[in-house]
Chains A and B, each alone.
Chain A
Amino acid sequence: MRIPEQVKRLAIVIGVLVALTLVARFVLIPRSLTSTSLHWSLTTQRESAKPVKFAGSTACQDCHDDIAAKKAKSFHRVLACEGCHAPSVKHAEDPSAAKPVIPRDRTTCARCHAYDPSRPTGFPQINLTTHNPLKSCSTCHNPHDPVPPKVPKECAACHAQIERTKAVSSHALLTCTTCHKAPERHKTAPRTALPSKPDSREFCATCHGQGRAGTPKEAPKVDIATHGARNLCWECHYPHLPEGRP
């Protein structure tokens, strides 16, 4: 039987359409659009390949083991290095390429330690406007081992006022025994066995003398030979609150 010409032509057209559909379905459409498992694995792959910015504290410990050991025993033991020092994966990969931030301002510590009524009770907080204004936190506190400046209980039991005054002064980190030698008997007979006071101008000059070697750089300097020549330092300056005017 002879197939009519119209049917043949129709068959060709249908064949072409089927071929086009097959090409579109299997060649043009990406496989990830038709296969769910492929789509999911590709998306996961893409998501997993994103770059990391925080290297993680374990990466820091490899080189800075001294700081890590100190911090591990302090109140800040669970803090991540990059919480304060900013994300530093570049520094971890190549230490000379980028340096982490060392925050010396008052805002970094204040993020956690500024007073906020919603913070849990007992969390150490300060009032930023009254707590040693304008002074950098690291002047008195070591961020890797933050201990509040403390006066020994033996001294503070009687000399509480000095303790409170000294705590907000630039001498906060000095211990009582830096300047005073108290005989053991001072505890039982405070008025008969007095502690010593610095008895020479040289004593204060070890930190405040101009042109001396080994003086702390934040201490203000005076020329000890010409400055207030006839008096001992503490006769004009109050060492427990040296900011106070003489």
Chain B
Amino acid sequence: MNKREFLKGAVVFIPAAGVLGAVARHAAGKETAAKEPAAKQPAAAPNAKNGYEPSAHYYGMGIDIDKCIGCNLCAVACKVENDVPDEPFYFRTWVERYTITRDGEVSVGNISLGTAREPMREPVQDAREVVRTFFVPKLCNQCQKPPCVQVCPVNATFTTQDGVVIIDAERCIGCRYCIQACPYGQRYLHPKTRVADKCTFCLHRLVKGLQPACVEVCPTQARIFGDLRSHASRLVRFRRLNKLHVLKPQLNTDPKVYYANLDGEVR
């Protein structure tokens, strides 16, 4: 075979190989098969089978600081439900203890830290020095203008129709921009998958008509979950009956996690 014949053969072979390879992938890959029907009607497709309509919902959460007893059940339940690593510094939700002393000092501790799923209880301070002390549960605020979504260079994270910011773990490249961008520190890099991970309001439970795991186990109903589109959800009632606050309103992120009885010191 001389050089001319080789080049001629190559001109035919390379595109043919490409087409054949693609056809083989078409046949083998289930992803294309699953994709095609979904492509036609992306809106209702995800869960059309059990009658869940994402565009009919818009989820939010209410948190009543006065009711939180700092039992840490929410953080524990979240780790179980969402396979969050057990190490005490990976959280989708956690509980902070604020202690404001007489001299104006504010100390914040994460009680979800600690070992063996036991909340960390620091030694009791001198009660005479403490002015106020309370717990603040924190979770992804599911912002309506999410900074984390804006910075993603590969569009791996986005807001679903039901108002939940989720991450495509298969597209995320683990660049950590979103972790930096979140003003609430709600994202972490999953040590196994090496992609960003965060609270999804337990989307897989919502589509089955269940509440998020943290809301399910909360013993004092400090966490209220509901649909902002509905006229009679518990969250709508919560929003009507309480004076509400969101975290860092000056950042214009428009969070959908509403805090009642929030102290001015909470950041």
Contact = CB atoms under 8 A, between A and B. Distances in A.
Interface of A: 12, 16, 19-20, 23-24, 27-28, 30-32, 35-54, 56-57, 76, 78-80, 82-83, 87, 107, 111-112, 114, 116-120, 123
Interface string B176-211: 000000000000000000000000100111011011
Contact of B204 (A20, A27, A38, A52): A52
Nearest to A28: B22
Given A12-B11, A48-B47, A39 B204 contact: no
A123 B216 contact: no
Given A28-B21, A54-B217, A112-B71, 13 more contacts: A20-B14, A31-B32, A32-B31, A41-B38, A41-B42, A41-B43, A43-B168, A52-B210, A54-B216, A76-B219, A114-B121, A120-B68, A123-B220
B18 A112 contact: no
Nearest to B22: A27
B118 interface: yes
Contact of B203 (A20, A23, A44): A44
B243 interface: no
Given A53-B80, A117-B133, A83 B219 contact: yes
B219 A78 contact: yes
A68 to B, nearest CB: 15
Contact of A78 (B46, B77, B82, B221): B221
Contacts of A35: 39
A118 to B, nearest CB: 4
12 contacts: A37-B39, A41-B43, A42-B35, A42-B38, A45-B38, A52-B81, A53-B80, A80-B216, A117-B124, A117-B133, A118-B134, A120-B69
Interface in B57-75: 66-73
A187 to B, nearest CB: 40
A44 B211 contact: no
B66 A53 contact: no
A35 B77 CA distance: 36
Contacts of B67: 120
B93 to A, nearest CB: 14
A56 B210 contact: yes
A79 B219 CA distance: 5
* Interface residues of A, dominant DSSP: helix
B166 interface: yes
A44 B160 contact: yes
Given A30-B32, A39-B155, A112-B219, A54 B72 contact: no
Nearest to B210: A56
B237 interface: no
B216 A82 contact: yes
Contacts of B121: 114, 116
Interface string B33-63: 0110011001101110000001000000000
A53 B210 CA distance: 11
B127 interface: yes
B122 to A, nearest CB: 10
Contacts of B70: 116, 118-119
Given A19-B15, A120-B67, A40 B81 contact: no
Nearest to A121: B66
